[in-house]
Amino acid sequence: MIGAHGVGMFILFLVIGGILGGILGELLSQISFGSLMPMLSQHYEIFNIQNVDLNLYVLELKFGIRFAPNILSLLGILLAVFIFRRL
């Protein structure tokens, strides 16, 4: 599945699919299609690693990650996997 195009390209497809789906979800949340749009544009937190502070006295670094996609961003990721497999 991934061998022909590379892991980097696969990850790029996943990230772009998630971003485009998330943007679409945010744009469509402004439009009212009844009770369907709030469910599609609501963010569901999958994991959240709180910020970790690293103070080196000359430089202060903060690390953290939060993954909270909406339904349309997950559909964008699935579509990206489908398109990647077709290439």
Predicted confidence (pLDDT) per residue in 68-78, tens digit: 888 889 999 99
**CA torsion sign, 51 to 23 to 17 to 11?**
negative
Q: What local confidence, expressed as pLDDT, does residue 83 receive?
A: 92
The CA distance from 28 to 18, in Å, is 15
Q: Tell me the per-residue pLDDT of 11-55, one tens digit each, with 9 for 90 and over.
A: 999 999 999 998 888 888 777 666 777 777 788 888 888 889 999
- Residue written as token pair 């469910």: 39
**Who has greater pLDDT, 62 or 32?**
62
Domain boundaries, position 15: 4-86
Q: What gap in Å lies between CA 78 and CA 57, rounded to an integer?
A: 44
Give the pLDDT score at 3. Answer: 64
**Rounded mean pLDDT of 53-60?**
92
pLDDT at 5 over 80: no
Say how many domains are in the chain: 1
* Averaged pLDDT, 2-6: 69
